[in-house]
Copies of this chain bind each other. A is one copy, B any other.
Amino acid sequence: MALIPMMEPSKTKAIAILTDFGLEDGYVGIMKGVITKINPHIPIIDLTHHIPPQQILAATFCLMNAYRYFPEETVFLAVVDPGVGSQRRSVAIEYSRGYLVGPDNGLFSGILAQDPAVKAVSLTNTDYWRVPHVSSTFHGRDIFAPIAAYLASGIFLEALGEVIPINSLVNLPLPSPHITETKIEGTIQYIDHFGNLITNIEFSQIRNKNWSITVNDIMIQSGLTYSDVAPGEMITLIGSQGWVEIAINGGNAQEKLQLKWGDKVTVIVQ
Q: Which residues of A contact B (CB under 8 A)?
A: 9-10, 14, 16, 18, 21-30, 32-34, 36-37, 40-41, 43, 45-50, 53-54, 62, 65-66, 69-72, 74, 82-86, 135-138, 141-142, 190, 192-194, 224-228, 237, 239-240, 249-250, 252
Tell whether, in the assembled complex, residue B53 and residue A26 are in contact, meaning their CB atoms are under 8 Å apart.
Answer: no
CB-defined A-B contacts under 8 Å, sample of 16? A24-B48, A26-B48, A29-B48, A30-B47, A40-B43, A53-B193, A53-B252, A54-B250, A82-B227, A82-B249, A82-B250, A83-B227, A136-B237, A137-B226, A137-B240, A138-B240
A53-B252, A71-B37, A137-B240 given as contacts; is B46 within 8 A of A29 (CB)?
yes
Tell whether, in the assembled complex, residue B224 and residue A66 are in contact, meaning their CB atoms are under 8 Å apart.
Answer: no
Across the interface, A225 reaches (CB within 8 A) one of B18, B71, B84, namely B84
Q: How far is the CA of A18 from the CA of B30 in the complex (A)?
A: 12
Nearest chain-B residue to A224 (Cβ)? B136
Across the interface, A30 reaches (CB within 8 A) one of B36, B69, B250, namely B69
Q: How far is the CA of A72 from the CA of B38 in the complex (A)?
A: 11
Nearest chain-B residue to A71 (Cβ)? B37
Nearest chain-B residue to A134 (Cβ)? B240
Q: How far is the CA of A135 from the CA of B240 in the complex (A)?
A: 5
Q: How far is the CA of A10 from the CA of B22 in the complex (A)?
A: 31
Across the interface, A14 reaches (CB within 8 A) one of B40, B49, B83, namely B40
CB neighbours of A136 from chain B (8 A): 224-225, 237
Tell whether, in the assembled complex, residue B137 and residue A239 are in contact, meaning their CB atoms are under 8 Å apart.
Answer: yes
Across the interface, A10 reaches (CB within 8 A) one of B9, B23, B53, B54, namely B9
Q: How far is the CA of A26 from the CA of B190 in the complex (A)?
A: 12
Tell whether, in the assembled complex, residue B62 and residue A26 are in contact, meaning their CB atoms are under 8 Å apart.
Answer: yes
CB neighbours of A142 from chain B (8 A): 240
CB A37 to nearest CB in B, in angstroms, measures 4
